[in-house]
A and B are shown apart, each in its own frame.
Chain A
Amino acid sequence: DTEVTQTPKHLVMGMTNKKSLKCEQHMGHRAMYWYKQKAKKPPELMFVYSYEKLSINESVPSRFSPECPNSSLLNLHLHALQPEDSALYLCASSQPASGRRKREQYFGPGTRLTVT
């Protein structure tokens, strides 16, 4: 099973709203990722969790707040977003970086976020 699930599929929110994106994987992976993807561009890394600890924050604004409650779940809390934050938000998982272990990342279907 190489499935990563994300909810919701679509989200429309106002600039004063608070919402959360959810991601789940059952592949036993211990690294999880959030990416942001604008139209016709490659995904841009936002955060990396390794063994449930935040290991990389790509200078993401604090209006995006990640959380990893356990090894299978990853959340992205959103607050006071701007219209330019509208994008496809992708979650991925992999084995964590260690020696020659395969680090293939498997992506979820994404959440299409529109900020009005």
Chain B
Amino acid sequence: TQLLEQSPQFLSIQEGENLTVYCNSSSVFSSLQWYRQEPGEGPVLLVTVVTGGEVKKLKRLTFQFGDARKDSSLHITAAQPGDTGLYLCAGHTGTASKLTFGTGTRLQVTL
């Protein structure tokens, strides 16, 4: 069973602070996605990374895929209340359709 462990599980910070969420596995992933999910809604795709060492930026969010494609991180600069939600990493192994989800990180940003 491939597992994706996320840390921290829960993070409560104030507006303007920076944070990093980690997604780790002992398995190699051919691609990895990050999603944000708000309560009662479906996950929204933020980014896909496919190349080891790849870094992608989406406004204040920076995503990195580990060199060995076993881990990833999400860094948020100057967090805002709108960043509040459940952040999920999810990866594909090989050419399979099945997506393995991480354990999730719940982020709360307060004023």
A residues near B (Cβ < 8 Å) are: 2, 4, 6, 31, 33, 40-43, 45, 48, 50, 55-56, 88, 90, 92, 94, 96-99, 102-110, 112
Contact = CB atoms under 8 A, between A and B. Distances in A.
Interface in B56-98: 86, 88, 90, 92, 95-98
Contacts of A94: 97
Interface residues of B, number: 24
Interface string B23-61: 000000001010100001111110010000000000000
A64 to B, nearest CB: 18
A102 B48 CA distance: 9
A109 B95 contact: no
Nearest to A109: B42
A101 to B, nearest CB: 9
A41 B104 contact: yes
B25 to A, nearest CB: 14
B101 interface: yes
B104 A42 contact: yes
Nearest to B4: A42
